[in-house]
Amino acid sequence: MKNPSLPTSLHRGCQRIASAMNQHPADQRGFSIVETLIAASILLIVMVGLMPLFIRAVTDNAQGRQSTEVANSARSEVERLMQLDFNHAELTIAAGTELETTSYYIPRYKVWKDSDEFTPDGTETYQRVTTIRQYSRDALSDDLLEDDEALPAGTDSSQIHLKEIQVALAGPTEFARPAKTVTLRVLRGI
């Protein structure tokens, strides 16, 4: 239908533009629904295959962060004990040839508890065993420090020249694998 207000040539130009817009060349068509579903299926298969890798990475990252926190705590314990006076009560052996204390770290609460305060409740815990031994300087004559060379409690303090501070940290067992253990060992002289 011809619009009486438009000149004839303009009317024909508008008709050509409108018909050109309605015609799509074969190479400019959009994707069909089948092609879209196939592409989505391929993408889904790839994503499902990669998902366990992402989950494992997140889990390993969290465990690594937690292990680092606990190891740093063990190092802090060694440094704290090294700052104490040589004859401080925490470094003095009351009986036998070593002083051993055990404490547990509960990651959920981010706190260390001594063994007498700790009640296992099935949550993941780390165990820290701190061992103190005392030696005379003669124990180093062979460049080896053996446990059987440790001096017993009650030894005259003038004979004690070295104190060994050992902090052993054991993590929780994972999927029937043994717990990871880290041991820090330092010698402190008079």
Domain definitions of the chain by residue range? 48-189
CA-based nearest residue to 162, from 175, 144, 180: 144
| pLDDT the model gives residue 185 | 87
Distance separating alpha carbons of residues 124 and 143, to the nearest angstrom: 40
pLDDT along the chain (190 residues), means of 10: 58 63 60 89 92 89 80 86 90 89 82 79 81 90 84 88 90 68 84
| pLDDT the model gives residue 44 | 93
Lookup: tokens for 65: 């962060």
| pLDDT the model gives residue 133 | 93
Which stretches of the chain are DSSP H helices? 8-22, 33-83
Q: Does the reported pTM lie above 0.85?
A: no
